[in-house]
Amino acid sequence: MKPWFDNRHWLPIAALALMMLAPGAAAAGKKAAPKALTRAELPAGFVVGSGVPALALDVEIAEGKVVSSSPAIDGPGNLRATRSGDDTQTMLTVSSDLSVAVKFDLYMTLDGERFTYTGTCGLTPGISSFEMWRQPVLEFAMGNPRVVSSGRVSCD
């Protein structure tokens, strides 16, 4: 009787197992956000501030994709982040008036010049996200909103 597994099949099985265990590695073409930027290197379209008043973006969605995004100048915007907390910790409440689930890039700075990428949770329509750090954060930079599947909203 021949065993169900022999040496000829180990490579395809190992590749399949790797793809199942590391879905991020299998997602070719996705470029990760830079981990650290100076204020001058922040991409165009990011809103920068302390979160009081709220950071706000005007995001336009068409055919299930973000077609434009810019800092909200007149009005509250439809993607907002509001700061709370005290001298020892910082909390950011992120909310959206969009009808689709979105993910965005968020950077934070302790000195006002060097911004570090920080993980965030995607936003399901009608539900706020709460991000928290056990340190005082001087400012945030928020931008690059993108539509995500409402069934795949995750934190990174």
DSSP 31-86: PPPPSEEEGGGSPTT-EEE-SSS-EEEEEEEETTEEEEEEE--SS--SEEEEEEE-
Amino acid 92: pLDDT: 96
For 91, the 3-state DSSP assignment is strand
What is the strand order of the sheet 129-133 is part of?
A: 65-71, 55-62, 79-85, 90-96, 129-133
Q: What angle (nearest 5°) sits at the alpha carbon of residue 110, between those of residues 107 and 115?
A: 30
Q: What is the pLDDT of residue 32?
A: 76
Q: Does 53 sit behind a cis peptide bond, omega within 30 degrees of 0 on the bond before it? A: yes
For 11-26, give one letter per residue: b (16+ CB within 10 A) or e.
eeeeeeeeeeeeeeee
Compute the distance between CA of residue 121 and CA of residue 128 in angstroms, rounded to an integer.
10
Element (H, E) at 5: none
pLDDT tens for the 156 residues of the chain, in order = 545 444 444 333 333 333 333 333 333 445 678 899 999 999 999 999 999 999 999 999 999 999 999 999 888 999 999 999 988 899 999 999 999 999 999 999 999 999 999 989 899 998 899 999 999 999 999 999 999 987 767 888
